[in-house]
Amino acid sequence: MSNYFNNRHIGSWLLISLILVLLITSTAFAANDPNGSATLKQDPNSAVNYIWVLICGAMVIFMMTGFAMVETGFTRARHANNTMMMNLMVWAVGGLAFYFIGFGLMFGGVGGMFGSLDKLLTIKMFGHSWGLLGAKGFGLGNSVYDVSIFLLFFFQVGFLDTALTIPSGAMAERIKFSTYLVYTFIAGAFIYPLFGNWVWGGGWLSQLGQIGLGQGFKDFAGSSAVHAVGGTMALASAIVLGPRIGKYIKGKPVAIPGHDLGMGVLGTMLLIFCWFGFNCGSTFAATDLRFTVVAVNTLLAGCVGGMAAMIYMCFSSGKPDTSMSCNGILAGLVAITAPCAYVPTWAAVLIGGIAGILVCYSVYFVENRLKIDDPVGAVSVHGVNGLWGTIALGLFADGTYGNVKGLFFGGGFGQLGAQLIGALTLIIVIFSLSYLLFKLLDRTIGMRVSAEEELTGLDVPVHGAVCYPEFSISSSLSITTNNTTIPNSITIEKSKN
Amino acid sequence: MKKIEAYLRPNCIGDVINSLHEIGIEGISLTEIKGYGQQKGHVEHYRGAEYTINLLPKIKIELFIKDTQVSSAIKAITKAAQTGEIGDGKIFISPVEEGIRIRTGETGETVI
């Protein structure tokens, strides 16, 4: 029961700090347009642009359905309720964290078409001023009461949810639910917005162009800011948590098949659909017809990623593995997310193909060499391929959009340099911050459930109900290696009337 | 009176029931089971890692028949369930002491 008391304390503590933040938030009025009429008058195109971003934003938020289905399908039935709940509540908690704190830190100084978001904390170095963090827009108060800013918030909240939900796959089947919610809030309020500001909020990575590094660090829709950040946090969380009981026997990894591969495949298909909102919506305007190029590149990279992974698995283990084919498609999509607006189609095919192979190698490497248990491959799909996509932009950008030129299109090492600096910064900053956070959570409220709860399944101990109460769930296999048998089956009896 | 227990491949069960019908055997009980035999399952791959599927799904049928029906029942089941490959299953026959119809209380082979 101490679990729940802990929860309550954390809840009230968070509530008090949020109210304080709201009170501190400046309430000064600026030239805002809260009802939208002035915005529409000034630019009649804003109607079509706003509806474009709204629909794409809703598609991005719908990605949580895909993530929930992939993660739950690829893990075991006894934890299904818990895995679903993590994917559900990340939206609620993450959205609020972004509202109260994260949005202000990330976009408080983005300026441009969001006029009153004009507070960027900067530092002077090398004769230039560099953005570090935004400082306006906390709690979407009166000072930012403007339709364009609300549109930006709505669109960005889905990206945040995506980044935050990625580690839930790596932590599945053994993370304490209360700890997971605390992680969600802190990462959504501080860790994600930090790197997000440097890339999209006018921060220093996006300003690398002022010292001659191409157009500055570019990430069109979030290979780095969303996927690699999520994947890196997933790596840190899986290291701190340790492998599931029975995953390694005498140092050898044991396959723990998911309970519903069909659900995982459907989830992947949903993610494919939503990805077109994710990438195409990042034009942030329906009048920017470049989104056609974005859509085609996204599609091609996904296709090739899935093909490459499937063929690779056929050669390496004899059969076209379903879950790795899903991972391959997702890897292709993750990798093309940053460069999708900047590269020609042949480069999209190449980027997706490399991503499909890379994800297979990476899953093997993480599981067999690093001995890190990542049940759904979050680190390999989102982390490794997020970084690959980020770097690929610096290689293949062809200069037809935003004058971004990669190494192979006469851009020299400038753009590539910016991309490498961004990728390196991400690994160092996000990994150390999230590792620190998870270590801290582990020392204080604890990261991991008890062995007993883990073995019987988290559904009943944590949520009071199993996901499939009217089915007798008994796995067709028990895992056997070197005379050690771990029963992989439980039977859930129907409750008595 | 005899009891026949047969362990069969799940996919042949429709044929087995039909061929038992044809020789006039009118009642069976069926259970979905899992088990392993001499081969002890087989090795598969999931996400590139090896694992052993050592409990395979099977169907167990139980039927009670008159002594005179034994050889025709065995022929009927074998005809429908035999593929010639490993894993076709097994049939076991045992004597039955008594049978009672609960509704009427009658006993002997007439309850079948």
- Read off the pLDDT of residues A361-415 as tens digits, 9 standing for 90 and up: 999 999 999 999 999 999 999 999 999 999 999 999 999 998 999 999 988 899 9
A2 pLDDT higher than 50: no
Whether A319 and B45 lie within 8 Å, measured CB to CB: yes
- The answer to whether residue A9 scores a pLDDT higher than 70 is no
Predicted pLDDT at A373:
95
**pTM score, whole prediction:** 0.86
List phi, psi (to 5°) of A29. Answer: -85, 140
Q: Which of A366, A471, A477 to mutate to test the interface with B (most CBs of B within 10 A)?
A: A477
- Minimal Cβ distance to B55: which of A319, A324, A477: A477
Render pLDDT for B42-64 as a digit per residue (tens, 0 to 9): 888 888 888 888 888 899 999 99
pLDDT at A489 over 70: no
pLDDT surpassing 50 at residue A492: no
> Do the Cβ atoms of B47 and A474 come within 8 Å?
no
Are A421 and A213 in contact by the 8 Å Cβ rule? The answer is yes
> Which residues in A lie closer than 8 A to residue B41 (C-beta atoms)?
477
- For A313, the closest of B48, B52, B55 (CB atoms) is B48
- Average pLDDT over all residues of chain A: 88
| Digit-coded pLDDT (tens) for A13-45 | 656 665 665 555 444 444 788 888 888 998 999
Residue among A256, A314, A379, A272 nearest A322 (CA): A314
* C-beta separation of A238 from A372 below 8 A: yes
Which amino acid, A257?
P
The DSSP bridge pattern shows strands A128-134 and A120-125 to be: antiparallel
Window 247-266 of A: residues touching B by CB (8 A cutoff) are 253-257
CB atoms within 10 A of CB A56: 24
pLDDT at position B99, please?
A: 93
The enclosing H or E element of B57 equals: strand B56-65
Chain B positions in Cβ-Cβ contact with residue A75 (cut-off 8 Å): none
Contact across the interface for A477 and B50, Cβ inside 8 Å: no
- Using an 8 Å CB-CB cutoff, list chain A residues near B34: 474, 476
CB-based contact (8 Å) between A476 and chain B? yes
Considering only residues A184 and A14, tell me which one the structure prediction assigns the higher pLDDT.
A184
Q: Using only C-alpha atoms, what is the Rg of chain B?
A: 17
